[in-house]
Amino acid sequence: MNFQEYPTDALMYITNRPEIVFTRGKGAWLYDNNDKRYLDFIQGWAVNSLGHCDDGMIAASDRQSRLLINPSPAYYNEPMARLASKLTALSAFDKVFFANSGAEANEGAIKLARKWGQKNKNGAFEIITFDHSFHGRTLATMSASGKPGWDTIFAPQVPGFPKADLNDIASVEKLITPRTVAVMLEPIQGEGGVLPATREFMQALRELTRRHNLLLIVDEVQTGCARTGEMFAYQLSGIEPDIMTLGKGIGGGYPLAALLATEAASVFVAGDQGGTYNGNPVMTAIGLEVVSRLSAPDFLAGVRERSAYLSQALLKLSADYDFQGERGEGLLRALLLGRDIGPQIVEQARLLEPAGLLINAARPNLLRFMPALNVTTDEIDQMIALLRQAIDQAV
């Protein structure tokens, strides 16, 4: 079908989109309305951990949909309990609250920290966050985010989120006052350009927050669920935070997110937190399938192998084109271009014939790669070949 035949005019304008409609996907490939195929290294924004339309996820969704779709959040269901106990077994946390998006999970983390501050710290409510961070698009999570311009678009902001500089412990310490209740960060700033917090910084933050009796919150919406080659990115630095949020990869493409906390930080009382779809059995059954596959023996080792392969390939390409190398952890990586040519390369990559390539420029001077975690080395080779063509056409 022609693009013009789709009734896209009825959609509220929020961003510029190319004039194509995606109609199906399988594994690493997406197909558009003209049946042109695209090698997908965006995967729903680091969401489809097992690629497009995974058979195990389809079976889990089908099985649960025939049994029970929604008993209401006021009652227990089996998949929610099983997924929660799986997540606590895999992590440093004791309690789980399920949500439908990363932003909603982060809202929950902010509420939990403020509640903990009322109970334990004389009503302290300020949460120190970081410049260039991204925590979501609700009012509070936009206020927590350090994206340039976000402080004014929907002013006034939600108060209580002073900003420090990533990897600068003195900048955090300077902001601590009697009103401070927590520090919240992404272990790797994803939208900010795949900028990792260093191991030393994470350890110093844990020490600083313990010393001042503050909660440490990690937003692992992008970095969690095997993306970095560890089940959770905080494990890369050998620390244990008090609160963690998950989203994106946990649902493998379905809307599922989670707020996890230690026993001591789990201070909600009846009525504090909830939501109509939270913990519904279909989403949690799919999440259970995804997390079970990601935590199967050898899966993480495979992610690390493919990560090393992608990293080497990007370094070689960088040397050939005189770019500035690459960075990242696991299968969340960025190629540093040294010039603001990212958007042109992204455009040319999508337009390649007969097969296009989907990648993202998180910042104009870099390209971000977030393939499915089960991507093959052959698909990585194909991606690099397409990327070379796109760069040649863009510059």
Ligand X SMILES: *Cc1c(COP(=O)(O)O)cnc(C)c1O
Closer to ligand X at the Cβ: 190 or 328? 190
Shortest Å distance, C-beta 198 to ligand X: 18
Could you tell me the CA-to-CA distances from 219 to 108, 141, 181 in Å, in that order?
A: 11, 11, 16
Confirm or deny that 222 is annotated as ligand binding. yes
Confirm or deny that 221 is annotated as ligand binding. yes
User: Whose CB is nearest to ligand X?
Assistant: 102
Region from 79-87, 131-139, 264-272, 307-315 binding ligand X, contact rule CB under 6 A: 131-139
- The yes or no reply on residue 253 touching ligand X (CB under 6 A) is no
Q: In what helix (H) or strand (E) does residue 335 lie, and over which residues does it extend? A: strand 332-336
- The yes or no reply on residue 254 touching ligand X (CB under 6 A) is no
Q: Which of 219, 242, 289, 379 is in the footprint of ligand X by CB under 6 A?
A: 219
Closer to ligand X at the Cβ: 275 or 302? 275
Say which residues have a Cβ less than 8 Å from residue 101's Cβ, sequence separation at least 6. Answer: 136, 247, 255, 257
Q: Which of 54, 186, 242, 329 is in the footprint of ligand X by CB under 6 A?
A: 186
Burial 9-26 (b: 16+ CB within 10 A, else e): eeeeeeeeeeebeeeebe
Confirm or deny that 276 is annotated as ligand binding. yes
Shortest Å distance, C-beta 219 to ligand X: 5
Q: Residue 111: what residue type?
A: K
Confirm or deny that 328 is annotated as ligand binding. no
Beta pairing partners, 183: 128, 216
- The yes or no reply on residue 190 touching ligand X (CB under 6 A) is yes
Closer to ligand X at the Cβ: 64 or 101? 101
Q: What does the DSSP 8-state code read for residue 5?
A: G
Which of 238, 256, 234, 239 lies closest to 247 in space, CA to CA?
A: 256
- The yes or no reply on residue 193 touching ligand X (CB under 6 A) is no
What gap in Å lies between CA 302 and CA 359, rounded to an integer?
22
Sign for the pseudo-dihedral over CA of 296, 97, 109, 182: negative
Locate all alpha helices (DSSP H) within 337-376, ordered by sequence: 342-351
Q: Which of 25, 44, 79, 102 is in the footprint of ligand X by CB under 6 A?
A: 102
Could you tell me the CA-to-CA distances from 4 to 1, 24, 35, 208 in Å, in that order?
A: 8, 19, 16, 57
Shortest Å distance, C-beta 7 to ligand X: 25
Shortest Å distance, C-beta 244 to ligand X: 11
Q: In what helix (H) or strand (E) does residue 294 lie, and over which residues does it extend? A: helix 281-294
What gap in Å lies between CA 371 and CA 357, rounded to an integer?
11
Q: Which of 48, 91, 101, 237 is in the footprint of ligand X by CB under 6 A?
A: 101
- Contact positions toward ligand X, by CB under 6 A? 101-103, 106, 134-136, 186, 190-191, 219, 221-222, 247-248
Q: Which residues are annotated as a binding site for pyridoxal 5'-phosphate?
A: 102-103, 134, 219-222, 276
Annotated binding site for N(2)-acetyl-L-ornithine: 137
Binding residues: 102-103, 134, 137, 219-222, 276
